[in-house]
Structure formats: C-alpha cells, structure tokens
Amino acid sequence: MRKTNLLVTKLLTAAMLVALISFIHYSFFEPAKHGDSFFCALVLIITGIYFLLPSILAKLSMTIALAFYAIYVVVQVCYFKLFDQYLFINTAFNLFEEAADYTSDALDLVSGKEITVLAVTLVVILLMWILSHKKSKYDFKFMMIHVLLGAICCTSAALLVMKQEQKIVDLGNDVFIYNQSDRYVYDKIAPKKTFVEFFGLEAFLYRDVKDHYLVNENEIIVENEKVTEFLNNNLPYQTNEYTGLFEGKQCFLIEAESLNMAAVDEVLTPTLYKLIHEGWYFSNFYSPTMTGSTSDVETMVNLSLIPINNGNIVSQRYAENEYPTTLAKGFASAGYVTNAYHNNFKVFYNRGVYFENLGYQTFLDSLGLGLESASSDKMVGEVLNWIPVYNDLDFSFWVTYSGHQPYLEESWNDPNQYSYEVQEEYGQYLEIVQQTYPELSINVQLYLAKTMSLDRALESYISTYQWMQRMDDLVIVIYGDHCVKMYNEEAEKSADQILGRTLDDTPLAIWYEGIEPMTIEKHCTDIDLLPTLFNLYNIDYDKNTVLGNDIFDDRYHGFQFTTDWIISTDDYVYNSSEASFERLNISEEEAYESLNRYLEYQEISNLIYLNNYFSDEDELSE
C-alpha cells in the first residue's frame, strides 16, 4: 500500500506539472502552423526527468525547470509586445544591464495575464513540495516502474523531435524553392516571429540551445570557404559620376536616435527640414529595429555587414574581432582625423572597446565631453561644435540620444532619468509643440519636443562653421537608427492623422551648403552607407569585405529589409514568411537570382562574426 501511495503521488504530481506547462503555454500561444510537437516533447522531457530522479532531486529539478519556463515565456511575451519580435537567451542577458535603467517602462508591459501565470507557477511549485507520501523503501520492481515511465517519456520526446525535424526537412526537398520554403525559416531562424508562428516557442528555445550552445567547431573551415566564395561574388567596385565628389571635405555623420519623418517639421525642426528638403533625400532608405537596436545599426553602418542573429550583440560579443574595412579605418587611410561621440557612458553597448577596434582615434562619451550622462543633444552639440572645425580633414560620427524613449508624462520630471537642465530644456520645447499641435497625442508631443534638441544642435553646429567661414568644407550625413519605440496605437494614429507622417519612416539625408536638392528613390539600408561614402570621398577599400553597395551605382538595384525579412528592392518586394512576391517588375527568374543572394546575407554575416573570419590571413589572401 505504501508503494502504491508513492506511485499515486508521483502520478498526481506529474499530471499537475503537465497541466501547469500547458496552462503557461496556451495562455499566450495558439497551436503552431506545423503542430506543437516541440511543446509536447518538452512536456515529455520534464515528466520523464521527474520520474527518473529520486524524490528530492526530482522536486529540485522541477522547481528550476518550471520557474525557468514560466519566466522565459513571460519575458518573450513582454519583449514581443515591445518589439513585435522574440529574443534568444543571450540577448536577454546582454540587454539586462541596459534594461535595468528602464525597469519602470518594462514593468508597464507586464499585464494581469503574465502576473497570473507567474503566480500559478509559484503555487504549483509549493504544492509539489507540500504533496508527500508515506515513507517506504524502493524495491527493484518499484524502481523499474519509475525508470520505465521515465524512459518511455524521454524516448518518446526524442522520437517526437526527430520525427518533426524530418517532416520539416521534407518541406524543403525541392532545392529550387528552398529559400521560399518553411524549412528555410526553420533552418535560418529568420524571421523569429514567423519561426514561432510556424513551429512554436519551444522549437525556438530548442534551436537556441542547440545552435548557440552546442557549436560544432569542426565546421569552421567549411564555413569560411563558403564565406570566401560568397564575398568573391560581390558586385565589383566601379567609379561613377559621383566618385570623389566630396573628396577633401569634412564629414559629420549622425546616427540620430529614433529619428523618423514624423519629427521632420518645417516649424518645429527647421534645420532637419532644411537638410532633407534642401539636400539629397533617400526616400526609400530604411533602418530596421534589430536585436541590438541602436548598436546593431552602428554595426551595419560602420562594417557594412548584417548584425548577428544568434542572440549576441556584435558590439558586446564580437567587439574585438578583426574588421579590415570600417568607416573610421577608411577615412583614416585618407588622412582624416576620426572621432566618435555619444551622450551616454562608453560602457553602454561596450562602445569604449568596440569603437576603438573600429578604428576611431578618439571616442568621447558624456564623461569625456565634460557632461552628465544622458545630456541633451543640444548640450552635446555645443561641445562638438568646437572639436572638428579645427581639423583640416575630419570624420566625426555622433550617436545622439535625445530622441530616446520613454515618451511618457510621468517620466518627464524624473531626476533619475534627466537632469534639471535637460528637463527644463525639453519642457520649453514641449510648450512650443503643444502650441503648434494642441490636438496631437501627448506621446508624440513628447517625442517631437525631444527631437527639437537635435535640431537646435544642428543649427548651432552649422552656425559655427559659418562663423569660421568653413562652410565649403562641411558635409552632413544624417539618418534615423530605428522606428520610434514604446508608443501606443493612439500615438501612431495621431501622428498619421495630424502630422501626415509616420513613426516608422527612418530618413537618410546628405547635405552641404549649395548642394542641388535631389530625391534618390533607390531602395537602400544602413549597410550601403559605407560603400556610398567611400565612393563620394574616393576612398579605396576591399569590396570583398562588405555586403553593402554604393547607392549611386547604376548596376545596383537596391536592397532593404525588415526584422521579418520582408525584402524590398527597386525590382520587387518579397515577403519571407509568405514566400511571395509583390510589386514584381522583372521576371521571377531574375528576381530569384538576386533574392537568393540577399537571403544569404544573414547567414554569411553570422559566420563572419562567429568564426572571426577576417582574422584568417589565408582567407583574406585568396
């Protein structure tokens, strides 16, 4: 009887575990397109381990497993609310330090459903520890029942995963359509949102652990050969009518935090309006919001490579890799002084290490500029005015800050968020915004007020060059790093209806005094900036070390992508999740020829980072 009681206790607890895991999963997720085999396998694995281990060890293991699973799901759900995307485990750890500064904003994403799931999980764990059985000694027969149940569960889980992976392999048996198959989504884990919709969050976790923690080092040689072959097929460098147009001029490159066309306003931000409407405006430029957010865009611009998608952030995990071609190194080779600036401390995104390795001779964070952390763009601009102007040849890269979220009234006067001077400055701008657009959503009003600080910094910067009579030397290149984040549907609708502009239209503009205004309609993204600037400044570089192309190259038909890998070129739009073309202006055969290469961009970039590809001198010499 005692043995029966123990078995019943185990079975009841196992049933409770299965019920909890199912409750957590189906509280947030519908059945996946290709079934919930990975979810079922996870349930079987956890149940099997529970049966295989002795009582105390089983309870300890289940406590850890259940707590991890509940927290993992809740974090994924909250992250999805913010970015419409999922994240790898490494990403969560890499972003933890930065996220700690925005704890209150993160807590706003946690709803009653998430709290309920965490509470139920805690209750079940407590019940598991409370639920007990009469003491008895195991005999061989009783142990075999437990082992058999555990073995059946674990074996079934393994077989279920193997069977499901074979089904997925069969989805892409036709090599010609592999890049358009659901198998491709599974193999590449891109886009992540589509991956979860197709295969489930548990499959995403399985691939995360399998691919990023169980790496086969023996494949590196083969992978590097693949990278070499791919890069050798880059579009060869070729001069054009824009080659050397800016040679001998200075370059002020600005990565503007959250800058979108909604903030380009003739009344509120006249300098930004001037740069875009009186300069070269790239109307089909787009900066996607990727895992590393602002940092990932810095990587694309400075390296002309796609950021890695394995959960790491390039500036953190791969900061000290070898990168033979960077913006700073290219301009330095042409005799330029190369400087980088940011309103925050250099420890954020490991910029102190990363920017030095990128070739910037000087990187001044807020401390180096003699300012407080998170100083406004206007405050930083007043310091920057007097640094580059005294150099004959200067390349400056400024990562701004004022446009950063949050755009909430309660955070406006938070002394932990902004200094008194910054609050006062933003408050003055907010009054102007509210007078100009009184019906606009408060979130958008706050966003516009912050962006006005950048506008005033640019106005001051240009005035300094005018006063120094060096306007002929100055070229300003400015782009938005990503869409406006952490805004609600009301704010989006308000911007669209009242301003007639969106919060997800990242601009790129090039301006110097007297430039002939021009709108460039070619599709392009951040990786194209390096080749384009090098062509404009006639800077020599190895074309087989980058992925981007000169925007002014007539042979290049454009490329941009979203985090869901919707690829847009001048010739077509391709939706990766639906494997379908839109706006197809060329034959499908021609479209596939270029598309298949773009679909490889992520994998090739991943291999470059993972294997530190450019550190291999033999590869570079081939």
Q: What is the pLDDT of residues 453-488, one digit of tens each?
A: 999 999 999 999 999 999 999 999 999 999 988 777
Of 320, 299, 321, the residue nearest 309 (C-alpha): 299
What pLDDT score was predicted for residue 91? Answer: 79
DSSP structural state of residue 343: S
CA 475, 481, 483, 487 dihedral sign is negative
Distance CA 517, CA 212 (A): 48
Contacts of 537 (CB under 8 A, 6+ apart): 244, 246, 247, 249, 251, 331, 334
CB 316 within 8 A of CB 94: yes
Judgement on whether residues 196 and 261 belong to the same structural domain of the protein: no
How far is C-alpha 496 from the chain's CA centre? Answer: 25
How many domains is the chain partitioned into structurally? 2
Task: Note whether residue 398 is domain-resident.
Answer: yes
Q: Report H helices in 30-139.
A: 37-52, 55-83, 89-94, 96-100, 103-107, 112-130
pLDDT above 90 (res 396): yes
Judgement on whether residues 206 and 255 belong to the same structural domain of the protein: no
Residue 207, H or E segment: helix 201-213
pLDDT above 60 (res 622): no
What pLDDT score was predicted for residue 63? Answer: 93
What pLDDT score was predicted for residue 175? Answer: 47
What pLDDT score was predicted for residue 3? Answer: 44
CA 591, 594, 596, 601 dihedral sign is negative
Task: Note whether residue 232 is domain-resident.
Answer: no
Percent of the chain with pLDDT over 90: 66
Q: Among 160, 191, 214, give the residue marking a domain's end.
A: 214
Kindly state the average pLDDT of the residues 320-345.
97
Q: How crowded is residue 302: how many other Cβ atoms within 10 Å of its Cβ?
A: 29
Judgement on whether residues 344 and 204 belong to the same structural domain of the protein: no
Judgement on whether residues 190 and 263 belong to the same structural domain of the protein: no
CA 7, 13, 16, 18 dihedral sign is negative
Strand partners, 561: 567
| Residue 46 banded pLDDT, cuts 50, 70, 90 | very high
Kindly state the average pLDDT of the residues 168-177.
65
The string of pLDDT tens digits covering residues 264-289 is 999 999 999 999 999 999 999 999 98
What pLDDT score was predicted for residue 2? Answer: 43
Higher pLDDT, 158 or 415: 158
Judgement on whether residues 201 and 256 belong to the same structural domain of the protein: no
Judgement on whether residues 181 and 323 belong to the same structural domain of the protein: no
Beta strands at 560-561 and 566-568: parallel, antiparallel or unpaired: antiparallel
How far is C-alpha 357 from the chain's CA centre? Answer: 21
CB 547 within 8 A of CB 304: yes
Residue 565, H or E segment: none
How far is C-alpha 458 from the chain's CA centre? Answer: 27
Judgement on whether residues 255 and 208 belong to the same structural domain of the protein: no
Kindly state the average pLDDT of the residues 588-617.
91
What pLDDT score was predicted for residue 98? Answer: 59
Q: How crowded is residue 362: how many other Cβ atoms within 10 Å of its Cβ?
A: 14
Least confident of 174-183, 324-333, 534-543: 174-183
Distance CA 481, CA 349 (A): 15
The string of pLDDT tens digits covering residues 155-166 is 999 999 999 988
Q: Among 189, 214, 239, give the residue marking a domain's end.
A: 214
What pLDDT score was predicted for residue 487? Answer: 74
Task: Note whether residue 569 is domain-resident.
Answer: no
Kindly state the average pLDDT of the residues 329-338.
97
Kindly state the average pLDDT of the residues 182-194.
84
Kindly state the average pLDDT of the residues 314-325.
93
What pLDDT score was predicted for residue 619? Answer: 44
Higher pLDDT, 136 or 458: 458
Task: Note whether residue 570 is domain-resident.
Answer: no
Of 315, 180, 259, the residue nearest 599 (C-alpha): 180
Task: Note whether residue 549 is domain-resident.
Answer: yes
Of 423, 315, 410, the residue nearest 372 (C-alpha): 423
Judgement on whether residues 259 and 210 belong to the same structural domain of the protein: no
Residue 303, H or E segment: helix 294-303
Domain assignment of residue 73, given as a range: 2-214
pLDDT above 50 (res 554): yes
| Residue 134 banded pLDDT, cuts 50, 70, 90 | low
- Identify whether 288 is preceded by a cis peptide bond (ω within 30 of 0): no
Q: Among 152, 187, 214, give the residue marking a domain's end.
A: 214
Q: Is 285 helix (H, G, I), strand (E, B) or coil?
A: strand
| Strand ranges of the sheet holding 560-561, from the earlier edge strand across to the other edge | 560-561, 566-568, 573-575, 580-582
Judgement on whether residues 79 and 171 belong to the same structural domain of the protein: yes
How far is C-alpha 470 from the chain's CA centre? Answer: 38
The string of pLDDT tens digits covering residues 280-313 is 999 999 999 887 889 999 999 999 999 998 878 8
| Residue 99 banded pLDDT, cuts 50, 70, 90 | low
How far is C-alpha 183 from the chain's CA centre? Answer: 23
Task: Note whether residue 240 is domain-resident.
Answer: no
Task: Note whether residue 290 is domain-resident.
Answer: yes
Amino acid type, 526:
D
User: Average pLDDT of the chain?
Assistant: 89
DSSP structural state of residue 360: -
Of 244, 254, 248, the residue nearest 336 (C-alpha): 248
CB 12 within 8 A of CB 124: no
Judgement on whether residues 401 and 491 belong to the same structural domain of the protein: yes
Question: Treating both helix axes as pointing N-terminal to C-terminal, what angle do 294-303 and 351-358 enclose, rounded to 10 degrees?
Answer: 10
pLDDT above 60 (res 621): no
What pLDDT score was predicted for residue 138? Answer: 52
| Residue 137 banded pLDDT, cuts 50, 70, 90 | low
DSSP structural state of residue 516: P
Indicate which CATH number applies to the domain containing 466. Answer: 3.40.720.10
Judgement on whether residues 264 and 189 belong to the same structural domain of the protein: no
Here the tokens at position 23 are 């409750």
Task: Note whether residue 527 is domain-resident.
Answer: yes
Distance CA 435, CA 146 (A): 73
Judgement on whether residues 336 and 470 belong to the same structural domain of the protein: yes
User: Between the CA of residue 279 and those of 120, 252, 514, what are the distances in Å?
Assistant: 58, 14, 9
CA 52, 55, 57, 63 dihedral sign is positive
Distance CA 477, CA 251 (A): 7
Give the highest mean pLDDT range of 102-116, 221-235, 382-396, 403-417. 221-235
| Residue 398 banded pLDDT, cuts 50, 70, 90 | very high
